[in-house]
Amino acid sequence: MDNFGGKTAFITGGAGGIGLSMARSLARHGANIMLADVDEDQLAAARADLEQMEANVATVACDVAKAEDVEMAAQRTLDCFGKVHIVINNAGVSLGGRTGAVSLEDWRWIVDINLMGVVHGVEIFTPLIRCQGEGGHFVNTASMAGHWAAKNLGPYNATKFAVVGYSETMRQELADDGIGVSVLCPGWVRTNIHKASLKRPSAADYESTSTDALTYSQAAAAVESGIDPDIVGDWVVDCIRAERFYIFTHPEMLPAIDARADMIKADYAACAADFRFKYA
d(CA 183, CA 248): 9
d(CA 226, CA 235): 15
Is 269 within 8 Å of 262 (Cβ atoms)?
Answer: no
Q: How far is CA 264 from the centre of its chain?
A: 25
Catalytic residue chosen out of the listed positions 156, 246, 268, 279: 156
- Within 13 Å of residue 26, how many CA atoms lie on the same side as its CB? 31
Q: Phi and psi dihedrals of 247, rounded to 5?
A: -115, 105
Beta bridge partners of 136: 179
156 counts as catalytic: yes
| Burial 151-181, CB ≥16 within 10 A → b, else e | ebbbbbbbbbbbbbebbeebbeebeeeebbb
Residues marked as catalytic? 156
